[in-house]
Amino acid sequence: MRRDHRPFWVKRLYLGYRSWHVEHFLRPQFEYLGNHGTYMNPWYVHVAGPNISLGHCATVIGAPDARVRITVWGRGHDQGRISIGDYALITPGVRITASDLIEIGHSCMIASGAYITDSDWHSLYDRIERNAEPAPIRIGDNVWIGDRATVLKGVTIGDNSVVGAGAVVAKDVPANVVVAGNPARVVKELDPEGPFRTRADFYADPEFLDLEMSRYDRELLAGNTLFNWLRTIVAPSRRD
């Protein structure tokens, strides 16, 4: 990983612009968006449709080749809902698409390329109309959905469970297990007593965390100059 050559004040300007972009362009797309969120490359986060909420202290990471897409396409005007709790981690390429209802609890982590949808969007024979009966998805607290996993309609996933990379979840997953494969099956049971450490623990004092991150940046970027930063952009070298 290449070193960050930006002066501290340049990074603060960038973070200020990023926050402005979130408030000006991203927040209006949500019915509710919590505070103390971290939105990396928010211009690559696409939110569309009504009734989408995301709680406090979320971390959402977009990328130019892997946009985050959170979409409600309801059966009628103002129908359908996506609700994501506090302390969520949503990484590049995640797609969450609801016809009727997707509920995701607190402290959930959704890895790159995962796909969550509550509808097949059409039947095997009728390729025009979507499924007649709603099949909501409910994901509990502290669930970890692995890289490129798929969670299909009507599924409930219990608290603390882990969906392995590439798994296809077509049936309910109990709490405190690890599932893997296609179709996903239980491959390990977790101790329900844990102890679990969650993203809620990390964000227990978000104001203090913000101050600590600023202090860390100041120390890490100390001594960086504007001239050298520009040089690394125009004429980078291996030692950079």
Q: What does the CA dihedral 199, 202, 208, 212 come to, rounded to 10 degrees?
A: -110
N-to-C CA span, the chain: 10
Q: Which of 69, 119, 73 is nearest to 90 (CA)?
A: 69
Given the residues 21, 77, 106, 122, the one annotated as active site: 122
Return d(Cα 190, Cα 172) in angstroms, integer: 16
Q: Which of 192, 200, 136 is nearest to 160 (CA)?
A: 192
Q: Which of 50, 10, 41, 43 is nearest to 25 (CA)?
A: 43
Query: Rounded to whole angstroms, what are the CA distances from 198 to 141, 142, 161, 202?
Result: 9, 7, 12, 7
How is residue 232 written in tokens? 């690394």
| 122 a catalytic residue | yes
Return d(Cα 3, Cα 14) in angstroms, integer: 17
In which residue are the tokens 């362009």 written?
25
In which residue are the tokens 């960050």 written?
4
Is residue 156 classed exposed, middle or buried when 0-12, 13-18 and 19+ CB atoms within 10 A define those classes? middle
Give backbone dihedrals phi and psi of 49, rounded to 5 degrees, phi first. Answer: 105, 170
Residues with catalytic roles: 122
